[in-house]
Amino acid sequence: MRFFNYSQYIGKSWDNEILGYVSQIHEYKGKQEGFAMKNPVKLKKLVEIAKIQSTEASNKIEGIVTTNTRIKQICENKTTPETRDEKEILGYRDVLNTIHENYEYIPIKSSYILQLHKDLYKYSEKAIGGRFKNVQNFISETREDGSSFVRFMPLKPFETPEAMDRLCEEFSIAISKSEVDPLILIPIFILDFLCIHPFNDGNGRMSRLLTLLLLYKFGYDVGKYVSIEKVIEETKDNYYDSLQTSSIGWHDETNNPTTFIKYMLGIILKAYRDFEERVQIVAENKLSAIEQIQNVINTIFGKFYKKDLIALCPNLSETTIERALKQLVDNKQITKYGERKSAYYVKNDELQN
């Protein structure tokens, strides 16, 4: 049985890469708080977009999908779920909203984690919500030839309730001592949670929801405005590799969480950098729509989609963005490939190189 001795990290010397991540995140956090205080109305659209992207990306990592249109309608409460996947997507949306609106009132205790898991499955026909696993689960991977292998063996079902209680208790004790930066303790907690793998299903999505909850509780709320889940989904191979590396020796308490800490800090830092880019665009209201779109496109390498611009230009409507794209295509500044939902664009100066 794991003891989750978080006191071992007190006074630990972390390498310059981790220290650099932490320092930069602290700096960006201060900038974000300043902008949020001065421009709360302008950030409202960023919050709406981030919720949709987070709901889509976190479920997509687990193979739970629907169309872009349906995702948006579900997140905006304009439709009812029609498939098993859509029921789970709706559950994720609800838990995400709960965390956004009530994070300061949600203690890190196993009973509250169970409640969040119950809400994740409240629309699903699966009778597993709010219950720890009752069968042994495995973290497996499929090879290119179609065969699979076990990457990691989580704790046994009978060990899980006590392990979750101890995990939450030790994390809370370590946080209360204020001797280790929360930015380092949070990834360690998430790593331990995933190694316990406490549920029959939903462990990955719960880990990402808990990541947001913990970050919000300690003032790192960039995930409200930029989808951290989307950044993870875009780098999911690195996500899984870092988990595997950092879980070696976990059962014997000899594992080294450094690789996963670095991965998660890199994700958080990228979210803050994306936030800074987006608020600069939001602040450029004096520019015409076409000028705003051009400025954004100039920061993009390779192909891009209309949905990318919708996320990056929250102050512009979808119709306005469509008109701007058409004008840029007509002016031969960009080239369009494909039609409708599969359409993407490439800057013409990149095609010439």
Give the CATH number for residue 299.
1.10.10.10
* Residue (of 107, 249, 113, 257) closest to 180 by Cα position: 257
Contact 151, 139 (CB under 8 A): yes
Average pLDDT over residues 8-16: 94
Rounded Cα distance between 50 and 226, Å, is: 5
Rounded Cα distance between 182 and 6, Å, is: 12
Judge if 128 and 245 occupy the same domain: yes
**pLDDT reported for residue 285:** 60
Judge if 307 and 205 occupy the same domain: no
Judge if 273 and 309 occupy the same domain: no
Rounded Cα distance between 296 and 289, Å, is: 11
Residue 104 exposure: Cα atoms within 13 Å on the Cβ side: 4
Answer whether residue 16 is part of any domain: yes
Average pLDDT over residues 165-170: 97
Domain housing 56: 6-281
H helix or E strand, kind and range, residue 347 = strand 344-347
Question: DSSP letter at 104?
Answer: G
Query: Residue 253 CB: number of other CB atoms within 10 A?
Result: 11
Length of the chain as a residue count: 353
Q: CA quadruple 8, 240, 238, 233: dihedral positive or negative?
A: negative
**pLDDT reported for residue 42:** 74
Residue 2 reports pLDDT greater than 60: yes
Judge if 65 and 20 occupy the same domain: yes
Which of 281, 307, 331 delimits the end of a domain?
281
Rounded Cα distance between 27 and 226, Å, is: 17
Average pLDDT, the chain: 92
**pLDDT reported for residue 38:** 79
* Residue (of 33, 52, 53) closest to 43 by Cα position: 33
| Structure confidence at residue 279 as a pLDDT band (50, 70, 90) | confident
Contact 290, 327 (CB under 8 A): yes
| Structure confidence at residue 286 as a pLDDT band (50, 70, 90) | low
The rounded percent of the chain whose pLDDT value lies above 70 is: 97
Judge if 259 and 302 occupy the same domain: no
Which of 256, 281, 306 delimits the end of a domain?
281
Which of 219, 253, 281 delimits the end of a domain?
281
Answer whether residue 1 is part of any domain: no
Domain of residue 254, CATH code? 1.10.3290.10
* 149 beta partners: 141
3-state secondary structure of 84: helix
Question: DSSP letter at 222?
Answer: G
**pLDDT reported for residue 143:** 74
Locate 300 and state its tokens. Answer: 């993009």
Q: Which position has the token pair 């989808």? A: 227
Look up residue 140 and give its amino acid: S
Judge if 119 and 157 occupy the same domain: yes
Confirm whether pTM is higher than 0.85: yes
Residue 119 reports pLDDT greater than 60: yes
H helix or E strand, kind and range, residue 197 = none
Domain count, the chain: 2
Average pLDDT over residues 205-228: 97
Judge if 143 and 269 occupy the same domain: yes
Judge if 226 and 303 occupy the same domain: no
**pLDDT reported for residue 141:** 75
